[in-house]
Each structure stands twice: as structure tokens, then as C-alpha cells.
Chains A and B, each alone.
Chain A
Amino acid sequence: MSHIDDGRLNALLDGELDAVDVATVQAHIAACPECARRFEEAKRFLAESADLLGALEPPAAAAPAQASRRVSRTAKEAALDVDEATQQSPAIRPVAVEPLLRRPPRPKPERRFDPTSLAWAAIIVLAIGVGYLANEVRHARETQGPATAIVPTAAAQRAAGQVDSNAGGAATTARARDVAAQPPAVSGGRRGSQGPPAAKAPPGEGEPPVAGRTSTGLGHKRLQPPGRAAANLALQAPAQPTKALDAASAPGAAGGVAAAAPAPAAAPAAERNAPQDRRARPVAEGGADSVLTVVPREPEATGAHAQEEARRGAAPGTAFRTATLEEAVASLGGTIRLVDGLEIERVQIGPGRLVAGADSAGEVVRVTYTEAGRALLLDQQRVEAVAGAPAGERAARAADELGPGDTVLTVAPDGWGRARWLDRGGLWLSLSGRVPADTLRALAERVR
């Protein structure tokens, strides 16, 4: 009697066999221990792979969800616009039509009010004006002396105030020229800014790079994804005339544009960043770089943290629960491993299925630390205890793969590093975090 292949076993599990085949395969499984074993294995792989894929749900964070909702609606609106334009559903549109009519007419580009470009236009006009006035001041100084500068507008009065307070004719003139020279330098600076990829999308340059894929007139209707929108807000905010001038004239700050906004920063975070411009610190003094400033880190961290909080609120409860050290020690059979010299942030207990490499049937104790601002997870599980459990086969396999005294160091493609080892006390340990392999290894050696 030949065995049932894995494909048919999976087809049975997926409900893809017809009634006759189901009866045949089931009868065989009942009579053949080998196929029964493989059937159980196939069941386990099916359940576990579905569980694993479940971990890859698109982030349902509160703010991004709202933003993506907007993006989604836009796509739908665009699709419906086309329908309206053709006065018929594309699904029932006749195929044999003249070539010119085969494609639905592109929706006319909408002229939407774009505050970003308006703000940039404003700053350019303002900068030209200030430059002109500065030139006038210089001219006046050259011809009439330092005390006779005439400044007709409020904006120019600020410039003049600076001129007067500095009392150095030539130096202030050069400074005023720097202000006038800002707009071109600003756009160059933004391109070279150190921000994350999303922050690099210059608002004045139209669509983000991915939009190039869209081959129809749909592209112009798309909203920017949340990260980019936030970046634009951050860039746009200081473009308000008074703020730009304030920043330009603030001591120590040579330019007025804050070119920082982390990709995940939500719009509110970006708005919070705006008032930080006055505290912006220069990246470099002098030259075109001098207009590039970086907003201090704190607001980003706050924004990211708020977002994490929102995500935590939105996420259904995770299987890890906070535990006391005593509970953790009890779970591990009377012992626990800790990273020597680091302060414990929290202790939790959760099911092994949540941790790669751990035995799914057992409990895992997770001790969380923060090292150099990055979270570090020390997961541990008693291997001996679960080896006797019904599904202990996997624990045994884990123990086989990891010989006592071995450490497996891995760095996932996305930078998540992990060191795993079995210690001589019968514990399976995993130390992980977004830290380089060397650091991880050094920290692993401090686990006692």
C-alpha cells in the first residue's frame, strides 16, 4: 500500500478533496501509522503557519489607520470618478470600441489649494524682499553712514534691528545677503538632509517616488502617505514668514528651516515640532549648510512614544502578561537569568509560540531592559520542563539544534539581532534587540 503524499494530506486539511477521495485518504490514515503521523504533522504545520502569518497584519495604529483610510478613500473616489466620466461601469464597458475610447478618459487634473507651495512662494517672495531691503540698507550705509537706514516695513524693521544692534556694517550686510540667499539653499539643503527616507520627499517636487508607478492620471489625486505628509508639515510649518524670520535672526541659528521629521511621526507630532524651531540647533556654520538645522530629538521621541501608546491601545491584548520576579522564577523552575549590570524594566510571562525558536508548548519568561535607548529582550524557557509535555517534541528538537555551550547569533534582514543559547542549567535563552551583533554578544556574556 503506497503512502498518501503531503499534497493530498494538505488537500484533505484544506477541504479540497472530493467525497470519495476524503473517504479513501481517511481510511488509509486510519490504517497506516506513518501517514497518520505525517497527517498530524501537516495539521501542525498548517495551524502554525497560519498563526505565523497572522503576525504580519498591517499595522492598525490609530493615526496611520486614519491616514491610510484617507488614502483608500481617495483611490476609491478616483475609481468612481472614472466611472462617472464614462457614464458607465468599466465592468460592463464594451471591449470592441475605437482605440481612442478604449481607455477611460483621464480625469482632469484638479487644481487643489496647496498650502505647501503657497508657503514656499511666500518665503521666496519674503526672502527676495528682505534681500532687496538689505541691499538698500547696505547702500544707505555706504552712502550715508550706519545710522540712517530707512526700513519701510515691519519685516524690514526686524532686519534693520539686527543691523543696528550689530553695528558692523559689512558683516551685517553679508548676513542679510545670507538671508536673501536662503530659498535656493533651502531646497538644496532639504535634499541633502539627514532625515529618514520619508522626510526626504520635498514638498515642492510633486509626488513621492512610488507614485511614478501609476501610469494613468490617477496619480495626481493621491494623498501622500502619513509619513510623508507629516514630513511635509514639519517642513511647511516654519515657512510662515514671521517664524522664518525669527529663526533666521535668532542668535546661533543661521537658518530658518527645520529639516527633520521622523518617518513615523504623525501629523500632530510634526505640528508639535514646529514651535521647536526657535530651539533648533545648527548642523554646521557658514555656507549653504548653515540653513540646515535639526530639530532636537525629544519631540520625535515623544511623538513615536505617543504613537506606540496609541498602537498599544488599538492592539488587542497580547499574550504576554506582566509578572513579578517570583512568578518568573517559579515558571522557570526556581531560577532566572538576568543581564548583569542592567536594570530590569519589566518582567513578563507569555506563551512560547510568541517567540521564535522557543518551544510553543511551554511558557517563556521575558525580561525587558533598555540599553542605550534601545529595548533589549531576554527571553528564557526551561527546556527540561517542557520536554515532558505532550508537544515536547519541538523542545527536544530545539535542544538538538542548540548544543549546550553553543551560542547562535543572528541578525534578521531588518536589523533585529538575536543571540540564542542553552545554558547548563537547562534554560533556553534568547537575547534580542535592535543592536549590532558584537554588542549583543557582549551582553549575552553578561547574562548570569
Chain B
Amino acid sequence: MAELYDRYHDSLVRLLYRRTGDRDSAEDLAQEVFVRALETPPANPRPWLFAVALNLAREDWRRAARRGRRLELLKGEVGGTTAPAADAALESDERASAVRAALATLGEQDRSALLLKAEGFSYDEIAAALGLAKGSVGTTLARARRRLVESFHGQGRVQHVAH
């Protein structure tokens, strides 16, 4: 278990952070993944750990939405309670926000495949973790990549107003 932890913890946290957008949640969920692995040692740990992580993230999102915690978090951010940020933080904040919004436009399966690929998963492993046929992983990734990039660049054409 210690070896699994050393090998996959950082990668899991990164994936969960990209999925949830919250560092604390990512750490918490990663811990729970390892707790579950202790309870039910998986035969094929890598796909198992990441599949559980993605499921937990999805459940967490739903639960949070139900409790309105997400709303509260957003409210806190919108309030702009921080001092003017330094350049680096501001830029990464702005860009990360846009990327996260683009990522949110993807379907669950496409997003998961993309995040797993970003963690170095092979098509076989992605297929195992998401219950896909190996042959459809390429198509899933192709769609996910295109959608992410296009969504980022043409982001949120919510309303047109005359200038």
C-alpha cells in the first residue's frame, strides 16, 4: 500500500484537482481512494484507483451541488475578497478558470478519458477504467481534445450585445 501511495498519490491528486477545482477536496478524495484500496485491495491497482477517484469526484460534485456548498464556494470567490493578486497568480487564475469552464463543457466520459490520458494512461488502461472498448478510446479522446480546445477559444458565447 505504501508503494501504491508513493507511486500514485500525486497523480491522483492532480487528476482530482483538475476534476474538482479544489485542492482540499482533491486531497480528501485521494485519501478516500487509498482507504478503499485498503479495504478491497485491487488486483490491477492503477485503473482501479483512478476509476474510483473519478467516481468519488462525481459523487462529491453531486452531493456538494445538493447541499449548495458549491454555490457557497462560488459566492466566496465572486465576492473578490482577496487583495489584487500578483501577476503570476492572476494569470494562472484567469487561465485556469477558462480551462476549467471549457473542461466543464465535456461529457463525463470524454472528460475522464482526457484526464486519465494526461496522467499517462494507455488506451488499454483507459478502457479498463471507464468500461470502454479499446477501439473507442481514440475516438473518445479525439472528441474530447477538439471540444476542449474549441470550447476554450470560443468560450461561453452567452450573449451578444451591441457595442
Do A and B assemble together?
yes
Residues of A participating in the B interface, judged by any CB pair closer than 8 Å: 5-11, 14, 16, 42, 44-46, 48-50, 52-53, 55-59, 64, 68, 71-72, 75-76, 79-80, 82-83, 89-91, 93, 103-104, 196-197, 209-211, 213-216, 218, 222, 225-227, 262-264, 300-302, 304-305, 308-309, 311-312, 315, 318, 320, 345-346, 348, 350, 354-357, 368, 370, 373-375, 377, 394, 397-398, 401, 405-416, 418, 421, 432, 434-435, 441, 444-445
CA distance A75 to B83 in the complex (A): 33
| Beta-carbon nearest neighbor of A226 in chain B | B24
Do B27 and A72 touch across chains, with their CB atoms under 8 A apart?
Answer: yes
Give the residues in chain B near A75, CB-CB below 8 Å: 5, 9, 30-31, 34
Find out whether the CB atom of B72 lies under 8 angstroms from the CB atom of A197: yes
The answer, among B30, B149, B162, for a CB contact under 8 Å with A406, is B162
Minimum CB–CB distance for B100 against chain A, Å: 7
Q: Can you list 27 contacts pairing A with B, beta carbon distance less than 8 Å?
A: A7-B141, A14-B138, A45-B146, A49-B145, A49-B149, A55-B95, A56-B103, A72-B27, A75-B31, A90-B1, A91-B41, A93-B41, A103-B39, A104-B39, A197-B69, A216-B38, A218-B31, A305-B86, A308-B82, A315-B89, A346-B87, A375-B84, A398-B153, A409-B158, A411-B158, A416-B97, A421-B163
- When distances are taken between beta carbons in the complex, the residues of chain A under 8 Å from B145 are 10, 42, 45-46, 48-49
Quick one: given A42-B142, A197-B73, are A373 and B99 in contact (CB under 8 Å)? no
Contacts of B140 in A (CB 8 A): 7
Contact B2 A80 (CB under 8 A): yes
Q: Does B128 contact A (CB under 8 A)?
A: no
In the assembly, what is the distance between CA of A405 and CA of B163, in Å? 6
Instruction: Take A7-B139, A405-B163 as given contacts and tell me if A308 and B86 are in contact as well, using a CB distance cutoff of 8 Å.
Output: yes
Taken together as a complex, chains A and B put the C-alpha atoms of A80 and B4 apart, in Å, by: 12
Q: Specify which chain B residues have a CB less than 8 angstroms from the CB of A300 in the assembled complex.
A: 81
A318 (CB) vs chain B CBs: closest residue: B88
Partner-A contacts on B (CB < 8 A) = 1-2, 4-6, 9, 13-14, 17-18, 21, 23-32, 34-35, 37-39, 41, 56, 60, 69, 72-74, 76-78, 80-104, 114-115, 117-118, 122-123, 135-146, 148-149, 152-163
Tell me which residues across on chain A come within 8 A of B90, comparing CB atoms: 368, 375, 377
B74 contacts A415, CB within 8 Å? yes
Shortest Cβ distance from A404 into B: residue: B163
Q: Are A373 and B72 in contact (CB under 8 A)?
A: no
Is there contact, CB below 8 Å, between A309 and B86? yes
A412, B156: Cβ atoms closer than 8 Å: yes
Give B21 Cβ to nearest chain A Cβ, in Å: 7
CA distance A72 to B83 in the complex (A): 29
Q: Known interface pairs A79-B5, A213-B32, A401-B157. Does A375 touch B85 (Cβ–Cβ under 8 Å)?
A: yes
Q: A213-B28, A215-B35, A373-B84 are in contact. Are A91 and B1 (CB under 8 A)?
A: yes
Residues in A whose Cβ lies below 8 Å from that of B98 = 356, 412, 416
Tell whether A354 pairs with B95 under 8 Å between CB atoms, given A6-B138, A370-B84.
yes
Most buried by B among A57, A213, A315, A421: A213
Task: Among B13, B32, B88, B114, point to the contact of A214 (Cβ < 8 A).
Answer: B32
- Tell whether, in the assembled complex, residue A311 and residue B5 are in contact, meaning their CB atoms are under 8 Å apart: no
Q: Is the CB of A82 within 8 A of B146?
A: no
Is A415 touching B77 in the complex (CB atoms < 8 A)?
A: yes
Contact B91 A318 (CB under 8 A): yes
**Nearest chain-B residue to A298 (Cβ)?**
B83
Q: Specify the chain A residue showing the minimal Cβ separation from B140.
A: A7
Residues from chain A with a CB closer than 8 A to the CB of B142 are 6-7, 9-10, 42, 45
Q: Which residue of B lies closest to A394 (CB)?
A: B153
Residue pair B31, A90 in contact (C-beta under 8 Å): no
**Most chain B CB neighbours (cut-off 10 Å) among A5, A308, A320, A421:** A308
**A9-B142, A305-B83 known; A58 vs B117 contact (CB < 8 Å):** no
State whether B163 touches A58 (Cβ < 8 A). Answer: no
Interface centre among B28, B60, B96 (most CB of A within 10 A): B28
Using Cβ atoms and an 8 Å threshold, which residues of chain A touch B141?
7, 10, 14
Q: In the complex, A445 Cα to B161 Cα: how many Å? A: 12
Contacts of B77 in A (CB 8 A): 414-415, 434
Asked whether B1 lies within 8 Å of A216 as measured between CB atoms, the reply is no
